[in-house]
Amino acid sequence: MDNSKIRDYIISPNLYNKNLTQELSGIDHFGNKAEISVIEERPLTIFLNDQEIVTAMTIGDYPEYLALGFLRNQKMLTDNDIVEAIDFDVELNMIVIRTKTKTNYEDKLKKKTQTSGCAVGTVFGDIMDEIEDLSIVPMSTKVSHLYDLSSKINKTPSLYLKAGAIHGTILCHKDKPLVYMEDVGRHNAVDKIAGWIFDTGTNPKDKILYTTGRLTSEMVIKTALMEIPVLISRSGFTAWGVNIARQVGLTLIGRLRGQRFICLSGESNLIWDVDLD
């Protein structure tokens, strides 16, 4: 991809923010001094009004989208909640989302903490109940678009290409990648996309989500909660991820490399417009 194509992105990889990588010195396999770019990783504690919710380990860009998206994907923020203010304190690594009225989640959380201390990952117990009632509106998807997206995304200059050790999640429309978020945790990258969608009021129902990471239950649940109908990845699947995708009607495509892929959910939504011979 030549640089002119970067302009097609609404948000492209954050290559010009010097706070996201560090130049570190060590030695290479010859014993020679080596200097490499290494991805930053810092804590960000997210508050919803007076309630401390979570501390995420993040690269540190777009903290407002990360916080909004995390709370949205936890259903702690709903369409009915009006965000009045977002206060980010860069010194204390803290961000506070303030809503007009107290959210119902604060009561839920108070109850939860009496029985359960902490949770690993970013998908909590009662999110599974939400999934039960969810049904994705299916969207037809051209196979040629999958190939175009994969090719464009892989050629886009990114922190991954510069420093490695980072995941990317990209919101796409048809054959165009629109918003490219990167983070040390793939759940953060997808939460940043969710925050951007919420903040801009973008329609998710005609979009495709691409992730560099694996198609685990967590990624599938977040995509479903975001009401995006298609999730694609260069990586593989977990069985529970596939089962949830089938349950909610999400089109799930993995191992997308070159012209190869495997589709394990929503096969009937694919339009075969490419002749591989």
Query: What is the binding site for its own copies (CB under 8 A)?
Result: 21-22, 24-31, 34, 36, 38-42, 51-57, 109, 112-122, 124-125, 143, 163-165, 184-185, 187, 214-218, 235-242, 255, 259-265, 267, 270, 272, 276
Whichever of 5 and 214 has its CB closer to its own copies, that residue is: 214
Whichever of 86 and 127 has its CB closer to its own copies, that residue is: 127
The residue assigned the tokens 């989640």 is 105
- Give min distance, CB of 90 to its own copies, in A: 16
Q: Residues 6 or more apart from 223 whose CB is under 8 A from it? A: 190, 209, 231, 250
How many other β-carbons are positioned within 10 Å of the β-carbon of residue 267? 10
- Spatial distance between the Cα atoms of 81 and 210, rounded to a whole number of angstroms: 28
Whichever of 28 and 206 has its CB closer to its own copies, that residue is: 28
Q: Residues 6 or more apart from 25 whose CB is under 8 A from it? A: 33, 34, 35
Closest CA to 69 of 195, 169, 181: 195
Whichever of 93 and 202 has its CB closer to its own copies, that residue is: 93
Whichever of 11 and 53 has its CB closer to its own copies, that residue is: 53
- Give min distance, CB of 3 to its own copies, in A: 25
- Give min distance, CB of 240 to its own copies, in A: 4
- Give min distance, CB of 261 to its own copies, in A: 5
Whichever of 41 and 227 has its CB closer to its own copies, that residue is: 41
- Give min distance, CB of 153 to its own copies, in A: 17
- Spatial distance between the Cα atoms of 246 and 265, rounded to a whole number of angstroms: 5
The residue assigned the tokens 């997206």 is 149
Closest CA to 99 of 89, 87, 90, 111: 87
H or E element at residue 177: strand 176-183
- Give min distance, CB of 246 to its own copies, in A: 9
- Give min distance, CB of 187 to its own copies, in A: 8
Whichever of 178 and 216 has its CB closer to its own copies, that residue is: 216
Closest CA to 66 of 39, 91, 93: 93
- Spatial distance between the Cα atoms of 108 and 53, rounded to a whole number of angstroms: 12
Q: Cβ distance 264 to 247 under 8 Å?
A: no
Closest CA to 251 of 200, 277, 215: 215
- Spatial distance between the Cα atoms of 18 and 230, rounded to a whole number of angstroms: 33
- Give min distance, CB of 203 to its own copies, in A: 28
Whichever of 120 and 137 has its CB closer to its own copies, that residue is: 120
